[in-house]
A and B are shown apart, each in its own frame.
Chain A
Amino acid sequence: MADLVESFYANTPAFDDSPPSSLSPEDRSRLLSSYYPDYRPEGKATLKVGPNKGTVVPQELADVLESRSRLPSPRHLPDHPDHDVDILILGGGGAGITAALFAAKEGRSVLLATKLRVGDSNTVMAEGGIQTALGEDDSPVVHFRDTFRGGHGANDPSLLSVLVSEGPEMIEWLVSRGILFDRDPQGGLSLRKGGGTSKPRLISAKDYTGLELIRVLKEDVVNAPVEILEFSPAIELIAGPEGSCAGAVLYDLDSRRYIYVKAKSVILATGGAGRLHLAGFATSNHFGATADGLTMAYRMGIPLVHPESFQFHPTGVLFPSEMAGMLITEAVRGAGARMYNRLGKRFVNELETRDVVASAIIRECAEGRGVKTPQGASGVYLDLVSIDRDSGEGTVERRFPNIVKLMKRHHVDPTKKPILVYPTLHYQNGGIRIDARTRTTVSHLLVAGEASGGLHGTNRLMGNSLLELFVFGRRAGLEAAEQSLHRPAFSWKETSLSHLDRFEKELTSAFPATERPMAPVLFPDYRRKES
């Protein structure tokens, strides 16, 4: 493999450092509409069934939204549930863990069920940082404005206001749990720059931010009075009296049995959809990111907001191919990394918002200025060498040890050679519609984290998703604790899966001739394939 890498790099052009031309707002919208996958007509489907009927979404997402249940019809609930708890949390990433910790502190019985192990999530993979306005000339108000502008003005202002004003408190909580964020010489939290922001606002733990967060919070949740079921993804929500939510059906991946949980409140924190590989894109997401929460909520009739909007992170590794999709954090561009095409020319300001930078890369490749890999894919160079040149030898190694370690394993030393990148499917900008208390249109069903939508508009700024997990994870945990205290008692006999029958009836009339796929898909299936 080392030979292949060496011969690939033998053709690297000399890099011309002259700045790219700057973009007017019109240039940006033209670039987006021509190249950004969200705005392209290919590979799309119009939803025919459910609360978002008429919305155009990626075909792969339509396949899981307009799908059959894994539970075969006729469906019956057993005489008794396997678990009866105050609060059921679905998902063990950052939002689920945070919700569990705050709900358990209120003294409620909490069951957290997750697909893989607690902590296996997109959170653990986050590299760059958390956005929170701590700079002297910065404020939650400026954070609000930057995020709203970055989200193309499609953000829900009430969610955004909560995010920016409660963010610092959540950072205080994380620091008190012993999370080690990078510090400046005065002992304050170091602030770095991300794309699309007007102020340096990212706090990070080198490029291991998500790992550091999860290592610590996982230990806390394991030590908290929270019952944990791993390898037990939810496959359906259970309906209660008056169209409420009353629990969920889990699937035990080891015993291959269903587990029925009755709960006074359910928190969906099931994360994103990257492993659906929309439009054939590689993904930076963890193995279980298959839009399960969206699928289950949609069947219950809960509307999604911006389901057509996804974040294709500009810089996923393209070569060596075994690393395809792995993310190179935006923080490297904040620190001065530059991008070059096959001709060695810069082609976009590296600190434009993610969607603009991704579109520019796609354009370069579509117009023949991409760099070809031995496998025939096209990408552009992301050069970190300029960081060391600007900020001193050793900066890359000190600030981005994970990238250096991972790339070196595959014979590419990023302090000496550029990394070949192409956009990678990274984040679901939209999701299940929630209000500022994380409530949905179905009572006693709350949503937090990537599964929810509205906060980021149609383009998320770097570092806002980690902040969201903690701000809205806590809100969901506390809201569930409050609700479960006041919810009138109901019996297991009042619960049902009738919403599935209703949904499948609609499905049959909308797709009379075709058998719809089954979902949640739980995992991508890469078996017996050539690559």
Chain B
Amino acid sequence: MVRVSINGREYSVHQGSTMVQAMWYTGHEVIHGVGCLGGVCGACATVYRIEGDFRLRNALACQTLVSEGMSFSMLDSYPIQRAHYDVAALTDPKEELFNYYPESATCRNCNACTEVCPQGIDVRDSVWRANFGDFKAVADMTFSCVMCGLCVSRCIAEMAPHEIALYARRSYGAKELPFPPNLRHRLDEIHSGTFTGDLKRLESLSPDELKKECEVRS
């Protein structure tokens, strides 16, 4: 067993449990702060300290094991400003970034966002690359972002780096990357009815005929 403090109250919990499991074990009903329990939904951003260490740390509670003297509280939701835009209607996304997120240009390079990111993303660099219009680089470096918003909680320029990265990734995908030729080709075939007859025929077969027909791997 290890000694932990949850929301300021002390408990004894099993070693090897995650923070969320420790909350369940001690009878907490966790609703805000739980989602996928698999480290991708970003619902369980948590702030913690270890006894004897002044550092304030952050983690995803479903992914982080408790340890002796750990004191933690969940950060269920962090208020953010989100841009209202339609990615299809953007005409010059790199310029428009500064209309939607003017604060992105005010990064003071403190690097707190990078240090706090539970996914290990170089968040500070991604903000600068967005500012300089290198959206491809932003897409590559922020692809594992789970939108937990911990970067927002630490930003001294009060921006939302994860939203800026989302904007950059989407703009890159919708506006910069060419439309995939293999998809274009298949869509053309479908629209000209290439497969309609075959599919209609399959649909019209009796269950047994259809089974026989599909048994053979083409």
Contacts and interface: CB of A to CB of B under 8 A. Distances in A.
Interface of A: 1, 4, 116-117, 119-120, 124-125, 133-136, 139-142, 144-146, 148-149, 153, 157-158, 161, 164-165, 168-169, 171-172, 175-181, 183-184, 186-189, 191, 198, 205-206, 208, 210-212, 215-216, 219-220, 222-223, 231, 253, 284, 286-287, 320-322, 326-327, 401-402, 405-406, 409, 523, 526-531
A286 B144 CA distance: 19
Contacts of A401: 143-144
A405 B180 CA distance: 29
Contacts of B189: 139
B41 A124 contact: yes
Contact of B16 (A181, A216, A321): A321
B89 to A, nearest CB: 11
Contacts of B174: 175-178
Given A116-B43, A177-B174, A180-B173, A529 B24 contact: yes
A313 B166 CA distance: 31
21 contacts: A1-B65, A116-B35, A124-B40, A134-B185, A141-B199, A145-B213, A148-B211, A153-B207, A153-B211, A161-B200, A168-B187, A169-B190, A178-B170, A178-B172, A180-B169, A186-B182, A208-B143, A223-B82, A322-B65, A409-B63, A527-B27
B29 interface: yes
Contact of B63 (A153, A175, A179, A406): A406
A322 B172 CA distance: 37
Given A144-B199, A168-B183, A286-B37, 15 more contacts: A1-B65, A116-B31, A120-B43, A141-B202, A145-B218, A146-B217, A153-B211, A165-B195, A165-B199, A168-B190, A180-B172, A188-B181, A212-B143, A223-B82, A402-B39
A286 B43 CA distance: 11
B57 interface: no
B86 interface: yes
A189 B183 contact: yes
A432 B217 CA distance: 30
A120 B183 contact: no
Nearest to A25: B215
Given A144-B199, A527-B29, A208 B40 contact: yes
Contacts of A523: 31
Chain B's interface size range is 35 or more
B210 A148 contact: yes
A124 B35 contact: yes
A436 B144 CA distance: 36
B119 A405 contact: yes
Interface of B: 14-18, 21, 24-29, 31-32, 34-41, 43, 63-65, 82, 84-88, 119-120, 139, 143-147, 166, 169-175, 177-183, 185-187, 189-190, 194-196, 198-200, 202-203, 205, 207, 210-211, 213-215, 217-218
Contacts of B119: 405
Contacts of A326: 38-39
A464 to B, nearest CB: 15
Contacts of B214: 144-146, 148-149, 153
B82 A189 contact: no
A74 B18 CA distance: 43
A125 B36 contact: yes
A206 B26 CA distance: 37
Given A157-B210, A188-B180, A211-B40, A223 B84 contact: yes
B40 A210 contact: yes
Contacts of B25: 527-530
A117 B183 contact: no
A117 B85 contact: no
Given A120-B41, A208-B144, A183 B35 contact: no
Contact of A527 (B24, B40, B64): B24
The 3 closest A-B pairs by CB, nearest first: A178-B170, A188-B182, A178-B174
A125 B41 contact: yes
A136 B169 CA distance: 29
Contacts of B36: 120, 124-125, 286-287
Nearest to A169: B187
A171 B202 CA distance: 24
Nearest to B90: A178
B86 A223 contact: yes
A320 B15 CA distance: 13
A141 B182 contact: no
A149 B181 contact: no
Contacts of B37: 286-287
A441 to B, nearest CB: 21
B106 to A, nearest CB: 22
Contacts of B28: 527
B63 A177 contact: no
B150 to A, nearest CB: 16
A119 B41 CA distance: 8
A175 B180 contact: yes
B139 A187 contact: no
Contacts of B217: 146, 149, 198
A152 B214 CA distance: 10
B182 to A, nearest CB: 4
Contact of A187 (B24, B175, B178): B178
A380 B178 CA distance: 43
Nearest to B37: A287
B170 A139 contact: no
A322 B16 contact: yes
A195 B28 CA distance: 40
A402 B24 contact: no
Contacts of A406: 38-39, 63
A401 B26 CA distance: 33
A144 B202 contact: yes
A222 B82 contact: yes
